[in-house]
Structures are given as C-alpha cells and as structure tokens.
Structure 1
Amino acid sequence: MKYLVVLGDGMADEPLEELGNKTPLMAANTPQLDLLAKKSEIGIAYTIPEGMKPGSDTANLAVLGYNPKVYYSGRSPLEALSIGVNMKPTDIALRCNIVTLTEDDKPYEEQTILDHSSGEISTEDAAILIEAVKKELENDIYKFYVGTSYRHLTIWDKGEVVDLAQPHDILGKVIGEYLPKDAALREMMKKSYDILNNHPLNIERKAKGLNKANSIWFWGAGTRPALTSFEEKNHVKGAMISAVDLLKGIAVGAEMKVIEVPGANGTLHTNYEGKAMAAVKVLLEDNYDYVYIHVEAPDEMGHQGSIKNKVQSIEYLDQRVIKVVMDEMSKSGVDYRMLVMPDHPTPIWCRTHTSDPVPYLLYDSTKELNKDWNYNEEDAKASGNVVSEGYTIINKLIQ
C-alpha cells in the first residue's frame, strides 16, 4: 500500500457573496474531486490546537502526525533546517520577509503594509536585496540568509523568543503598533527601508509596475527544533514535495526525503504537473511508501484577497495534481490511499489564517465507497465525521 497527501495550503474558506454564497472550494470546477468524493470518506479536522496561533507551521506539523503542542518550537527554526543553517542551542531564528510598505514622506512608523510578499518577488530579485541589507546590517549578533521568494531568515545569537506580528495579519494597517518591542530589531527594520526603498532594483520594479520590496519584516521567532524521525514514528518511508522552505524544513527535521521540482515556486503558476509526477516517481520507482504534496497557491491567493485566483488555484490542484496522480497510480495497478485537505483556512474576507476546522477527503483504491456528497466545507461538516485532534488524522491514512 502506498500513501499520498495532497495539501492545498489555505484552501478552506467561508461563503462569499461574490460566489453566490459559496466558498471557493464549492464554486471551483473540480470534476476529479467531485468524482473522488463519491468514493471517499469526508469529514472535518481540527488542525490548530486550542490556544495556538493558526499557521502553516503548526497545521502542517499536525497533518504530518506531529502534535504541535509537543513538537512546535517556532516557524523560523524549521525554515533554518531547509536552508541548511545549523543552529546553536542559544540561537533564535527569525523569519525575515521582504514586504511592500507605502512609499510616502511619513515616518517609518506611520507607513502602511501593502503586500506581505512584495508581489511574489522572485528569489533572484530578493537575493539581491537581502545581500544589500546584509552588507549594511549584518554583524556578529545578527546573520542574514537568503531563502525563497519573499521568505528569508535571520539568526540572532543569544537572542530571545519575542512576540512579533505576522505581516500577513496586518495587511492594509499602519505598522507602528505592530513593530517589535525589541529596539535592535525595530531599528534594523527602519534602516532596511532606507537601504531598499531607492535601491536600483526597486526603482526598476516600480517602473515595471511591480510592488517595491522596500522593507524587511521580522516574525516567527523560535528555538532549534527536535522532531522524531517520520519513518521511526510511522513505520513508513516518507518524502516531501514543496516549494516552501517551511515544509522542506519540517521534512529535514523529520528525516524525510526532500524532492526539488524545477519550476515549483509557491505561486499560482507553479509546476503542478511536475509535483504530481515527482510524487508518482518517488512512490513507484524509488520505493518510498508515503509522499506529501504541498501546494502553496490557495494560501497565497487568500492572503492577496483574490477570489478569482483562489478558485483558479483549486481548479489547478484538481486537474493538474490530483487527476495526474490518480491517472498514473491507476495505470500502475498499485494500491494506494490518498488524503486531500487544507492545513487551515485562509478566508478571503480577512486575508489571513483562522483556526476553524478544515474539510478532509480520504480515498482508498481498494475500498471505494458509494456516497452522495461533494468535497467542500459544507458537505464535510454534514458528514458527521470529525477528527478533533488533527495530528491523529495520519492514523486514518496509514493503517
């Protein structure tokens, strides 16, 4: 038996007037999921433990079978693992986003955050800007590392886990009250605006109609993580496919195989088919038992507040990942079980994560069911199937 997870990050949502009071998942044209739901178990899962912030870090740990209350030590340390940073026990890792702030004559504290991803900036452009910040701000205490797209890393020697605002939670807000209380972190963010706002690359981006990437933003502080081996814990050999450093970092910590797919970039226009075929290959040719296909696009579209693109990302997931995987697995004749779900909702109305339960779909090629439901938030809730502790859903998949 082979096991697959297809994770549509942030895919769950709430009914929208613009979609006739349907959610994006209900409104999307998803013939493969519609067909699959009739043969599968559906239900809802609570992936965010009570009292914890709703994030892709805690939620994906849960879907992978790790109780966030036991294993979570912060988001940035997981990304450090992906980048290859060997943290000392006294190190604190900080996420270092490159964000877009309003460009006007107001003091830094009175600026407004417009875009947490700087228009989904390319890694190549971001690397140039991080190097400019590094040249001016790096010292023996703070080290800067290039990550992917807008997501980068700072290591704080002998630092502390301070409370920091997530940039995607404060889109459209004046930043003053959300800046770090720590004076050194706050001052570096202010100086980064001076370094970046008129950087030649940002002048060029503005001329092209692109958002400037004109400030760094620290968040997600944490200590060095310690995850149990995925194979030791679940008795299956696992692989991870994702464009996002967070997911790759979790996989490194869990001693899973990390598969890099050319053209996989975490955006709406990622290499969906490449991810699907890489998953099939690792199961059928490389003899792995379990593969986790993470697709970031629905979450990004939720953060951007784009209804049209969120619906599109779900349709791409349906036809360019799930259908491709199922066609290939069917041709192989190998038995498999597949779990389809989001990690958390990223509702369009608030453009950030919530802790609401998410719909799951569990398909078994050897035990096809005969049901009259579709895969969406409403039908999943009506099914009566509830996984109250999200980190146990892996036990439903791997039997």
Structure 2
Amino acid sequence: MKYVVILGDGMADEPVKQLGNKTPLQVANKINIDSLAKYSEIGLVKTIPDGLTPGSDTANLSVLGYDPQKYYTGRSPLEALSIGANMEEGDVSFRCNLVTLSEEGSYEDKTIIDHSSDEITTEEADELVKYLEKYLGNDKIMFYSGTSYRHAIIWHGGSTDVNLTPPHDILERNIKDYLPKGTNSDKIEQMMKLSYELLKEHPINIKRKEKGLRPANSIWIWGEGTKPSLNSFYDKYHKKGAMISAVDLLKGIAIAADMKNIEVEGVTGNINTNFEGKAKAAVEVLKSGEDFVYVHMEAPDECGHRGEIDNKVKSIELIDQKVVRYIKEELDNIKEDYKILILPDHPTPLAIRTHTNKPVPYLIYDSSNLIESDAEYNEESCKTTGNVFIKGHELMDYFLK
C-alpha cells in the first residue's frame, strides 16, 4: 500500500460575498478532486487544539500525526532546522520576516502593508539578510537566510517569555499596539527599528521600487521557540516517508521527524510554482521505495493572506489539475493499492486574511475500498457526513491503519 497526502495550505474558507456566498472550494472547478470524493470517505478534522495559535506549524504537525500539545516548541525552530541553523540547548529561534512597512512618521506610526514584501526573491532576500547580519548580528544573535521573505534569528540565551504577533495577522493595521512585549522586548523592538533605517535606502529596495515592487524595508520578529524533538516518522508508523514542499517550516518538520526532503526545481511557495514538478516528484518517490509522501502546496494560504479571491480559486484548480490528476493516474498505473488524503492544514479566510482554528474538510480515497456516493469535496459537504476527528493528530493514525 502506498500513501499520499496532498495538502493545500489554507485552502478552507468561509462563504465569500463576491463568490455568491460560496467558498473557494465550492466554486473552484476541481473535477479530479470531486471525482475522488464520489468514492471516498469525507468529513471534518480539527487540526489545531483549543488554546493553541492557529498556524501552519501546529496544524501540519497535527496532520502528520504529532499532537501539537505534546510536541510543539515554537514555529521558528522547525524552520531553523531546514536552513542549517545550529541550535543548542538554551537557544531561542525567532522567525524573521522581511516585510513592507508604510513610510510615514516614526516607526510606531507605520502600517504593515505586506508580510512578504511582494514575495521578494530568495536571491534578493539573502543579500539583505547578510547585510543585516553585518550590522545587527553579534556573538549572541545570528541571522540565517531562508526562502523568499522567511528567515530566522538564533539568540543564544534568549527568552520565549515574549508576546510577539505574526505579521500576516495585522496586515493594513498600525503596528503600535503590536510591537514586542515581555523579556528582551526592548532589544527585539530596537532590532526592528534599526533594520528599517538600514533597509529603507538599500540598493535592492531602490531597484524594487523602481520596478513597482514593494520594498523589504523592515524585519518583523515573531514565532519564538526552543529546539524541537519529534519521534521518527518511521518509528511511529513503520512507513518510510518523504516531504515535498517549498516552505522551510515543512522541511524543518520533515528533518525533525527523520523524513526525506525532496527538492523540486522551480517551487516558490506561491501560486507561480512548479505544481507539475511536485506531482512528478511524489510519484517518483513512491516508485523508488518510499511508502508515504506528503505533498505540501502553500499557494492557497498566500492568496488568502493577500486577499486575492480569484487567485485562491485558481490555486485550488491548479492543485486539482496539475497535482491530483497526475498522481491519481500514475498510481493507477503502478498496479498497487494506494490511499490519498486531501485536506488543508487550517482555514485562511479571505475576509480576515489570516488563519482560524475551525475544523477543515478531509477526503480519504482508498483504491482497495471504494465508497460510492454523490459527494463533492468542500466545507459544507464534508460537514453533513457526521465524520469528525476532534483530535487532529488521530487522523494520520486512521489514514495509515
């Protein structure tokens, strides 16, 4: 038996007025997913336990079968693993976004315009992060380059006793009420303020503005955490597993779980990514002897954060056409039984442009046990079945049983 998880990050939503009070999943032309739904078990799964912040970190841990209440030590440490950051006991890792702030007034008066600086390229971002390391780094604080706008800071002797806000939660808001609070908050805020002075006239940002792109004119620090420790995925499930993702967070989870990370050329973490390459890589992984592959697509989540209604619908259609169709057809040709699990990690509603902790729709297709129905795959259809996993991490046990 082969096992595939196809995860559309942030794919679930609430009814959208501009879509006739339907969700993107309801209006998207996803004929391949809906064809699977007619022979699948569908239902809802609550991936984020009550009391935890709804994020891709806690949610993807849950989907992979790791109870976030037991294993979660913070978002940034998982990302730091994937970019080669060296964490020791007592170190604290922080996510360091390159963001776009408005340019008026003092730092406190500014508004956060874009949490991704128009999805800055990794090459541009790497130069900016190295520039910041030169002026802000020291023997206790080190900057590490990641992918696009996502980077890390390791603080030797840092503290997690802080209150830091994810930048995608406060888009188009004044940042005054969301500046750091708690232990070392004055030092964190000072780094953010100094970064603005260093970056606002950097040649890369001048060129970006000339091209009509948003500048990466400040860092935003959040996602604090300590060194993670997960049980091996193989020891937990006796399945050889692999991860396919453009996102450092998912790669870090894979490293912590001792899974293979499969690199695919041209993947970006947004809608302009190599969907076909991910699908082909997933099939090749299974043909080469792995039992399980986790195919993560960030595009719906990014579209949700950016409030891009049409692009969120389009991203779901691209996953359906370029990933689901190919994987299903190729697995049928392998002549071996297989299961496919399709789901989001969490909702990213277009109306609020950030995550919620509501249950998400799941679909399990088992080639050896077809369940005939007239179902479609969306939030409402899955809700009507009565199939609900209240503890999200139990879904993986069920899927792999």
Out of 187, 198, 203, the residue aligned to residue 201 of structure 2 is 198
Preserved contact between residue 44 and residue 386 of structure 1 (Cα < 8 Å): yes
Give the Å deviation of 1:135.
Answer: 1.1
Preserved contact between residue 127 and residue 146 of structure 1 (Cα < 8 Å): yes
Match of 1:281 in 2: 284
State the alpha-carbon separation in 2 of the partners of residues 275 and 212 from structure 1. 30
State the alpha-carbon separation in 2 of the partners of residues 87 and 132 from structure 1. 22
Out of 304, 317, 323, the residue aligned to residue 306 of structure 2 is 304
1:154-303 correspondence to structure 2 within 5 Å: 154-161=153-160, 162-181=162-181, 182-284=185-287, 286-303=288-305
Preserved contact between residue 13 and residue 23 of structure 1 (Cα < 8 Å): yes
Residue identity matched to 1:257: K
State the alpha-carbon separation in 2 of the partners of residues 321 and 354 from structure 1. 26
Residue identity matched to 1:322: V
State the alpha-carbon separation in 2 of the partners of residues 120 and 43 from structure 1. 34
State the alpha-carbon separation in 2 of the partners of residues 332 and 232 from structure 1. 26
Match of 2:339 in 1: 337
Give the Å deviation of 1:34.
Answer: 1.3
Mind listing any 5+ residue stretches in structure 1 that lack a counterpart? Answer: none
State the alpha-carbon separation in 2 of the partners of residues 396 and 26 from structure 1. 26
Match of 1:364 in 2: 366
Match of 2:114 in 1: 115
Match of 1:315 in 2: 317
Aligned length: 397
State the alpha-carbon separation in 2 of the partners of residues 96 and 76 from structure 1. 9
Q: For 1:340-386, what per-residue CA distance to the aligned partner results, in whole angstroms no more than 9, with x for missing partners?
A: 00000000000000000000000001111111110000000011110
- Normalising by structure 2, we get a TM-score of 0.98
Q: For 1:15-37, what per-residue CA distance to the aligned partner results, in whole angstroms no more than 9, with x for missing partners?
A: 01100111001010001011111
- Of all paired residues, the percent bearing the same amino acid is 58
Q: Secondary structure at the match of 2:266?
A: coil
Match of 1:139 in 2: 138
Q: For 1:41-61, what per-residue CA distance to the aligned partner results, in whole angstroms no more than 9, with x for missing partners?
A: 000000000100000000000
Match of 2:80 in 1: 80
Aligned-CA RMSD value:
0.6
Q: For 1:192-225, what per-residue CA distance to the aligned partner results, in whole angstroms no more than 9, with x for missing partners?
A: 0011111111011001010111000000000000
Give the Å deviation of 1:86.
Answer: 2.3
Preserved contact between residue 261 and residue 278 of structure 1 (Cα < 8 Å): yes
Match of 1:46 in 2: 46
State the alpha-carbon separation in 2 of the partners of residues 395 and 363 from structure 1. 15
Q: Secondary structure at the match of 2:144?
A: strand
State the alpha-carbon separation in 2 of the partners of residues 335 and 84 from structure 1. 37
Q: Secondary structure at the match of 1:390?
A: coil
Give the Å deviation of 1:389.
Answer: 0.4
State the alpha-carbon separation in 1 of the partners of residues 12 and 388 from structure 2. 16
Give the Å deviation of 1:234.
Answer: 0.6
1:53-132 correspondence to structure 2 within 5 Å: 53-104=53-104, 106-132=105-131
